[in-house]
Structures are given as C-alpha cells and as structure tokens.
Amino acid sequence: MVTTHEQETTQRARDLYAQAEQSSLEYWADRARNEVHWDTPFTEVLDWSNPPFARWFADGTTNACYNAVDRHVEAGNGERVALYFEGEPGDTDAVTYADLQARVSQAANALESLGVTKGDRVAIYLPMLVESVVSILACARIGAVHSVVFGGFSAEALRSRIDDAEAKVVITADGSFRRGKPNMLKPIVDDALSAEGHTVDHVLVVNRNKAEINWVEGRDKWFHEVVSDQPTSHEVVWHEAEHPLFILYTSGTTGQPKGILHTTGGYLTQVTATARDTFDLQPESDVFWCTADVGWVTGHSYIVYGPMSNGATQVLYEGTPDTPHRGRWWEIVEKYGVTILYTAPTAIRSAMKWGRDIPDRHDLSSIRLLGSVGEAINPEAWDWYREVIGDNNGPGTVDADGNVTPGPRQDHPVPIADTWWQTETGAHILTPLPALTPDELKPGSAQRAVPGISVDVVDDNGKTMQDTTQGFLVIREPWPAMARTIWGDDDRFVNTYWSHFDGMYFAGDGARFDDEGDIWLLGRVDDVMNISGHRLSTTEIESALVSNELVAEAAVVGAADATTGQAIYGFVILTDEAAGTDPQEAEEQLRNHVGTHIGPIAKPKRILVTTDLPKTRSGKIMRRLLKDAAEGQTEADPTALATLADPAVMEEILSGMKR
C-alpha cells in the first residue's frame, strides 16, 4: 500500500537529488535560504580560496538559537512541545517552544551577567537534562562557544578539554540519576579544577539530585539562583555565518581526541536540511527520539540543532535502557508515541541479546521510521531492528507462564536510515533517504551520499575504485557542515584529514562499492586486516558472526602472526538463550560459520566467548585493546583503558586469552 505521503516524499527526494546534481553550490544556497532565517542575507555561497579552510555563506548573519527556538514562537507554534523530558526516576517535564524561549533567554542573560561575551568558551558538563539544551542554546544565542564534555568523562579528561579550549565558565550539575543511583558530577569538576592554572572563573551548578556537594565560595553558583531572577526575554544578537558555534572533542575511539570546531551558518543549514530529509521529519505530527547523549556530535546535530531548527517535538531521556528494567525504552516509545527513533547499533544489539520478548510486550505501532548511527549496523541487527521494533503494530499477548506471542506486524515495513557521518562532518554524509521506497534499502549499507555531497571510494592513489573491493571513503568537495579546523591546531587539521589524498577529505574509514554503486562501510582503516596478502574487513566478519544464532555481539581484530602476517581473532558475546553453550563448541561452530559465509581465509584463528566487550563511552568497540590481547599482551594499555565505559571488561578477556 503506497500512501499519498509516501508518493509525495518520494517525489521530493528525487527532486532534491536532481537539483543537487545540477549544482551543489546552488543547491546548498537554496537550502540555506529556505531552511535558515538570515538577518543579513548572504551573497557569497562558498569561499574555498584557502583550502582546506572553508567559508560558507560568509557575509550573511544569523543566530542558531533564534532558528532553533524564537522563530517557531514567532510563527505561532509557541505552544508546541519542544522537549518531553523523562528523568530516570520517572519525573517528567513537557517544555514548549515558548517555555524554552523564556528559559534560554534567562540563561543567556545569566551568562552575560557573569561576564561571558561573544567568543568566550563555556564548558558544559551535564547529564541529559533540559538545562543541557538550554545551556547550549544560551551560548549560541550570545555567541559564546560551547564545548560540551560528555558526563561520563573523568576529571583528567574534563580538565584537558577545559584547558585546551580555555573555558571561562563550566556548567555542571550536582549529579544525575544513573542505574537508580546518584551519579555525581560536581566532585569531578572540583577535582578537575583542583590544580592551579585553569581559566575558569565560574562554575554553574544545576540542582538535579540534591546530593551533598562541596562548595567553593565565589566560584560556584547554583544555576537556578543565577538564572531564575533574570528577565525572560533577551534580544537576539546576530552573528556572522562563520562565527564559531562550538568545539567538540571526537569520541577518542582511535586515539587522542581532537577539538573539532564548527561554525554557525553552514552547520545550521546542513543539520536542518538533513534532519528534515533523512528522517522525513514532520514537525507538526512527529515525536522524534534520538537516544544519543548531548555530549556527542549526534546529540548536538540531531537533538539540539537539527530537529529544533525544524521545530520538532522530541523526547529527552536521562537514564539507561535497562533501568529500572530492560523494557524502559519501549515503555517510553509507547508513552510518548515516538514516531521516529534514532539510535546506535550497540543499543540494538543489547536489545537483541536481551530477547524480543521484552519489546514484543509493548505497543510500538507509533514508530514509522528508524535511524542508526555510530558504527556499521550488521545486517542481522538491521533486520531485527526493522522487524521487532519498526514493524510492531501492537503489543503481543502474554500467557500464564509469561511467554510472549508477538503482536501483529506492519503491512509494509518501516524504512531504516543507516547514517554514516562523523564529528568532523557535522551532519549526515551517507544515508539512504527513507522517503524512497523501503524496498530500495539494503541492510548493512549506508548506500549513498545525501544530496549535495560528493563522496567517493578511492584506491591508494586517490582514483575512484573500479571494482567492488575495499578502498578508502573520501569526500571530494567541501560541504556546509564540515569542520573548520581543529581548535588551535590548523596544522593537525591539515595533516589528519587532508594530506592523504590531494584535495580530498579522508575520513579514516574503509569502504567498498557494490555492483549497483551503493557504498558499504568496512570499518576503520587502522583496523583493516591483511591475511596472507588478502585485505579483509572487520565489519564483514563481525556481521557474519552476528548472523549466527548464538551470537549477540562480535568484535574482530587482526593480530601479528608469524605465518600469515596477521591472524584473525574474534571476540563474541552470546545471546541470553545461547549463554549456556560450551565455549569450545561455540568456537568450532562459529569458525565454520565464518568459513561458509565469507570463505576459509576469513576463519578466525581463535574465537573467545566473553560476557562483555571493551567499549568507549559512546558505545563503540575499541578494537585496539583486543588486538593487544590477541598479540599476547598480559596487561591493557592504561590510557586506552581509561577511555572505556567499563575498564573491568578487559580482565576477563586478558585471562581468557591466556588459556
């Protein structure tokens, strides 16, 4: 059944591609004019006279906060809910765009009263609270550059980011709720600022979990005290399009985090356009839920700026998916009627591991589109995501023994957007537009560039790959939301991204075309394995492992080997149902499975069954540590360990490798 809406959106997607094909500069100029409010309209689209330092829409002026908040109120949509906040303990708040305008204005006035002016840096170290969004937008409003530091980072990591950006103010909370317990943040800020020599004058503290905290007189101030006395209006100040909007440090999966700088006009244009196109976002009727933390780029672009600039209604959830029980996310989807869900493969694989009985109990029929970001999504996980989460058309039935029979499925499958992009790209780069018919989608492939972006897969010499083997993913032309530099280090920006291939941006990821010209991501180039002269992809072998019924999650690395150059090691987490399987038997079965699915050359030398994998705080598998373990190291590198969400997982793996 093809609805009118689908026909219209399909036509719209085709028009966008066609228009961008004609001239990507005109396309972006058009999107910028249509999607963003400019106080002074720009006359020049792109200045690329000093590559790789781009200037987009440079003589225009705008304000990201005005676009995300005020313009919706002025258009008569002030009563629309902007954020449904759901706290972990179950407290809630529905914040309209008009409320938000008042709260952001107060926060902007408060920052100014503390002496923060345009260009100053403000570090934001907060959990997922309405105040986080308010603080980000207040900075944007006055032209202060925000640097959000994910609330799971240590004092040391926080301090290095504060120092690098020379932040004048830190906004934090006493603590948040996490897994039913207070998760304290203020003591970490105290610790970070305990050594002399920092640039911070004020620490603003949101009163979230009412826990006992230390107080440094003169420096520390309660957020509510400083903010609530302020006037609820604040006159918008217009900023140049190239005015810095934020600094955001990359996740640190591969090494030292880089302070990526994004500016205002181009970034806002691309996040607004892609939020609308990729998700087919209908601000009047959709309830959008992006489960990322605001501390990552996904939270910046697809909670704060993209959806809000479109005037969307969103869910903002403080807690984890399994507190107080493993059905919490599905309860939230049901409660708010979430129509678009945007999450990460790691979360999908956890839900798969816990079993479909949990989501099957819930009514998820409101969902009409799904998104994925952060890692490659294994085809198995893609299928499960669509079938169990996307196509749920009502709750299943539970019998007296607690067995669940799934409810009805959708009569036509919901589309999935597998979005490939990075902190550095600012916004979506590769993703199918789900407005195209769902049967053109390919599980596990991010497929194609969004309109107006020029992506390629090239060989070692920067030539477009002529076959379907592995090459390097590059972007050939500047794009509006591209990083402008690494904060304070132009040379590192040039060396890291622009020196591999002449005139092209190199992302660090391997990829290949398929026969139809669609792009498949194959993992980071650093992780590519070379087995007896054959280049093999970690992503493909992991997907083969996950396609076996025993496996919930898998990580694959190549370790130095005297005979083959490199040998493949697999690390797998079994599904809850398969948890009792004899590890030896599982290993044998899985080695053969990979052998039949990919080829004998791809058979891992060893597969270790483990209960957990080393993951960064953004949920990505850190293969570096697994490689060290496979190469016989008996202790994990402490710096890499410090960036893990749970450093203890390596103990089990290291002792498992000894056997």
| Radius of gyration from C-alpha coordinates of the chain | 24
Give, in degrees to the nearest 5, the angle at Cα 451 between 449 and 457.
25
- Relative to beta strand 313-317, strand 287-290 is parallel
From residue 568, give the alpha-carbon distance in Å to each of 180, 496, 605.
Answer: 40, 28, 6
Residue 527 in the binding site for ligand ATP (CB under 6 A): no
Which member of 239, 484, 524, 593 binds ligand ATP (CB under 6 A)? 524
Question: Cβ closer to ligand ATP: 223 or 479?
Answer: 479
Contact string (CB under 6 A) for ligand ATP, positions 184-213, x = contact: ------------------------------
What whole-number distance in Å separates Cα of residue 513 and Cα of residue 509?
Answer: 13
Interface residues for ligand ATP in 208-237 (CB under 6 A)?
A: none
Q: Based on the shown chain and the rule CB under 6 A, indicate whether residue 543 belongs to the binding site for ligand ATP.
A: no
Whether the link from the prior residue into 480 is cis, omega within 30° of 0, is no
Q: Between 142 and 344, whose beta carbon lies closer to ligand ATP? A: 344
Helix axes 265-279, 24-35, angle to 10 degrees: 90
Residue 164 binds to ligand ATP (criterion: CB under 6 A): no
Closest contact distance (angstroms) between CB of 107 and ligand ATP is 27
Q: Is 15 exposed, middle or buried (0-12, 13-18, 19+ CB in 10 A)?
A: exposed
In angstroms, give the least distance from the CB of 484 to ligand ATP.
16
Q: For ligand ATP, which is the closer residue by CB, 392 or 538?
A: 538
Q: How far is residue 341's CA from residue 385's CA, in Å, rounded to a whole number?
A: 11
Site for ligand ATP in 289-328 (CB under 6 A): 296-297
Please say which residue, 574 or 621, places its beta carbon nearer to ligand ATP: 621
Asked whether position 537 contacts ligand ATP by CB under 6 A, the answer is no
Alpha helices in 344-411 (DSSP H): 345-354, 357-360, 379-384
Secondary structure (3-state) at 653: helix
Query: Which tokens sit at 472?
Result: 């390097």
Residues 586-625 as x/- pattern, contact with ligand ATP by CB under 6 A: --------------------------------x-x-----
Beta strand 313-317 with 181-184 is unpaired
Q: Choose which of 446, 550, 551, 644 interacts with ligand ATP (CB under 6 A).
A: 446
Nearer to ligand ATP, 42 or 153 (CB): 153
Residues 291/342, Cβ–Cβ less than 8 Å = yes
N residues, the chain: 659
CA distance 300 to 246: 9
In the complex, least distance from residue 473 CB atom to ligand ATP, rounded to whole angstroms? 9
Binding residue (CB under 6 A) for ligand ATP from 154, 207, 232, 254 = 254
Residue 346 near ligand ATP by CB under 6 A: no
- In whole angstroms, how close is the CB of 554 to ligand ATP at the nearest point? 15
Q: How far is the CB of 296 from ligand ATP (least distance, A)?
A: 6
Show the binding pattern over residues 107-146: x = contacts ligand ATP (CB under 6 A), - = does not. Answer: ----------------------------------------
Task: Pick from 67, 109, 132, 250 the residue near ligand ATP by CB under 6 A.
Answer: 250
Among 281, 376, 554, 573, binds ligand ATP (CB under 6 A): 376
Mark residues 480-519: x for contact with ligand ATP by CB under 6 A, - for none: ---------------------------xxx----------
257 contributes a contact to ligand ATP by CB under 6 A: yes
Among 60, 299, 374, 619, binds ligand ATP (CB under 6 A): 374
For ligand ATP, the closer of residues 334 and 418 by Cβ is 418
Based on the shown chain and the rule CB under 6 A, indicate whether residue 418 belongs to the binding site for ligand ATP. Answer: yes
Beta bridge partners of residue 205, listed in sequence order: 172, 222
Least separation in angstroms between residue 444's CB and ligand ATP is 9
Question: In the chain, how many H helices and how many E strands?
Answer: 22, 32
Give the whole-angstrom CA distance, residue 452 versus residue 437. 21
Q: Which is nearer to ligand ATP, 101 or 423 (CB)?
A: 423
Peptide bond into 638 cis (omega under 30): no
Strand partners, 170: 123, 203
Q: Determine contact, residues 501/472, Cβ cutoff 8 Å.
A: yes
Contacts of 542 (CB under 8 A, 6+ apart): 376, 378, 554, 555, 556
DSSP 3-state assignment of 537? coil
| Contact positions vs ligand ATP (CB under 6 A) | 250-254, 257, 296-297, 373-376, 418-420, 422-423, 446, 507-509, 521, 524, 618, 620
